[in-house]
Structures are given as C-alpha cells and as structure tokens.
Amino acid sequence: MKYLDEFRDSAPARRLAEEIHRLATRPWAIMEVCGGQTHSILRNGIDQLLPASLSLIHGPGCPVCVTPVEVIDRALAIAGRPEVTFTSFGDMLRVPGSEKDLFRVKSEGGDVRIVYSPLDAVKLAQELPDRQVVFFGIGFETTAPANAMAVHLARRQGLTNFSMLASHVLVPPAIEAILASPSNRVQAFLAAGHVCSVMGTWQYPPLAAKHRVPIVITGFEPLDLLEGIRRAVAQLEAGEARVENAYARVVSEAGNHPAQALLAEVFEVCDRTWRGIGTIPASGFRLSAAYRDFDAELRFDVAGVTAHESPLCHAGEVLRGVLKPNQCPAFGRECTPRTPLGATMVSSEGACAAYYHYGRALAAEEAR
C-alpha cells in the first residue's frame, strides 16, 4: 500500500538505527509528543533498536489522557440526564471519572452511543427532535475541524437540540509548558505530523529558538519515526536547534487554510486545564460567542462540577514525562485495562496502555 508498506521496510529501518547509533555520542532525551507515536514506537520495538544512551520520553499527546477528571464528571452528569442522548468516540467510554465511567452510565439506563464522526451526532439530532443530543468533543487540532464543522452545520440547519461538550487542547502551548518547567529534561521533540497537517509548522520555530531545542515533525510509521529521531540526534550532536519537516508528504509550513478558517469561526482560544500538568494559558479551544448556544457545559449548567483522582494513579507524572508507565507502583497491579485508575491505561493512545499491551512490564532501568 503506497505510503504505508514503504515505511515499514525492515532493511532501511536497520540502516537508520545503525546511523542513529553512529551519530549518538552522548546521552540525549527526546520526547515524542503524540500518543499515536508512542504506540508505534513500542509496537514496532523502535525503542529497543536505539542506543542505551538515547532516552525516549512519552509526552502528553493523547487528548483523552489529558482530559481532566472534572470534565469526565461533567460528561457523566450530562449523560445521565433522562432527556439526553450522549454521543462520543468509543475511546472515551471507559475513561474513569471520580466514581464511574460512561459505560456505567449506559448500564444504568443512560442513552450513551458511540459515533464514528461528530456529523453522526448532528444526524441523530435531526432524527430525534425530542431528545437533547450532546457530542463529547475531545481532541487536539487534528480532530477540531470536524467538530467545528458539526457545530457549524447544526447552527445552519437550525438544530436547537444539538450541543457539544468541548475540551479541545493545543500542542504548541503544551510544549512551551514542558520546556518552561523546572523539572524539564527534554532536549528535543518529535512533533505530531497529523496536528501539523492542519496547523502547519509556523508555530514551532519560535519555540525552537527560545528554548534551544530541535523540533522534528514526523509521521507514525517506523521509518517516519526513525528518520525523525535521526534528524533530532544529528541536530543535538551539532549543537543546532531548528524545526525540520520530516513528514513533507503530508505537512506544509502553512497547513490547511480552510480548516484553520473554520476553527477561527467556531472556536476561540482559552486557558485549559490538562490532567497531570495543570492549567496552561491559551492552550485550548472553546466555542466562540457566536456559537455559545451550542455549549453543553452552559446548556446543562455543569461548569461547577469538580472531581478528585485516585491517589494510587501516577498518570500525571507519566504525562509530564517524569515517570515511565512501568515505574508507577500501580501499573499492572491495581491498574490494568480491566481496572483502570486513569485514562492513560484505557485510551487507544495512552502510554500506560501501550506499555501494558506491548510487554513493557519491567521497570525502565531493568528493561535496559
């Protein structure tokens, strides 16, 4: 398959790994931003091909994982209302809130449905005029345009029974927050290619220059990731700090202008709380004033819902790159995919789920 099989070829993968071994003369720490990249790295054993001195840090790039518990609890409060049909992508249904998850709400009689597109939720609102249809809008810049289109269409069609619980987050402010942290140990970034396909690369050069870190935009296949790591190591060894686009077949500097225009119309930038990190200024999207009537948080008055996390869960340290998932005392014990303490264990892009499914059960220092 074009642009897929070519990027899974073992021969060039070995050559790239050998080149990385040749280039890396010092210890370096590189963070892959996206959880999809984390899963690809572990699924394909890329981390085991690298020099022992090269450390990959798993970033907070899973939108499900960084959604705060209070937002999950707000979703649960809305989903449990008798007049509501609550829709979501499937990976949100098992994310634990303070006391339960959306599957539990469904088992208790709530009308909770999985959809494959936010436009499916708009169609449901058309078909169920006597129900309040709510879509749980989670994601980075990648999924934000489709969610924006759903709200745009709902307003154009005059649907008064559709709303969105929006918790969108933005990648560049998160990178800034990580680099500005006193505990930061990240020396280079692999940026998420799908985010950059929408937003372009123009936001990253100021970050690279300010913090003196290389940022390499990469895809998700083994050769994409190995090439991204190779470029990052080459820059680190040369003392350089610039943005490189290693995913040019998908990403341009300007990005997708129509998608950006739609985002600017439907959403506005706001401060957003990230699970495990805290509030990051200007790091999220909320519905703009023109679309505020479609804000489920306001429609159902759940903004005041607060929450607490399990004291056993160390997902926050995992999301900040302070801990590897298998260094959490609860990993594989109290916390498993069947009994998750946090979203990182059940999300399809969660780092804890990746470590569990791909056999990284040893502590990181033992795995070396």
Note down pLDDT in tens along the chain; length 368 residues. 466 777 877 888 999 999 999 999 999 999 998 989 999 999 999 999 999 999 999 988 888 889 989 999 999 999 999 999 999 998 899 898 988 999 999 999 999 999 999 999 999 999 999 999 999 999 999 999 999 999 999 999 999 999 999 999 999 999 999 999 888 899 999 999 999 999 999 999 999 999 999 999 999 999 999 999 999 999 999 999 999 999 999 999 999 999 999 999 999 999 999 887 889 999 999 999 999 999 999 999 998 887 777 788 888 888 888 888 999 999 999 999 888 888 899 888 899 999 998 877 654 334 43
Alpha carbons 40 and 22: distance in angstroms, whole number: 23
**Taking the alpha carbons of 307, 309, 315, 321 in that order, is the dihedral positive or negative?**
positive
Alpha carbons 28 and 34: distance in angstroms, whole number: 19
49 DSSP 8-state letter: G
Tokens of residue 188, six digits: 């280079």
Alpha carbons 211 and 56: distance in angstroms, whole number: 19
Please identify which residue in the block is written with the tokens 């209070």.
Answer: 70
Helices (H), the chain: 10-23, 35-43, 69-79, 102-107, 118-127, 144-156, 171-180, 193-199, 205-211, 222-238, 257-266, 296-299, 315-319, 351-357, 364-367
Residue 344 contacts residue 310 (beta carbons within 8 Å):
no
Residue 325 contacts residue 361 (beta carbons within 8 Å):
no
Phi, psi (rounded to 5 degrees) for 222: -50, -45
Count of positions (residues) in the chain:
368
In sequence order, what DSSP letters do the residues of 238-280 get, joined into one string? HT---EEES-TTT--SS--HHHHHHHHHHEEEEEEEETTTEEE
Q: What is the pTM (predicted TM-score) of this model?
A: 0.90
110 DSSP 8-state letter: -
Please identify which residue in the block is written with the tokens 């098992």.
Answer: 94
Residue 7 contacts residue 222 (beta carbons within 8 Å):
yes
Distance of CA 292 to CAs 76, 297, 349, Å?
21, 10, 30
44 DSSP 8-state letter: T
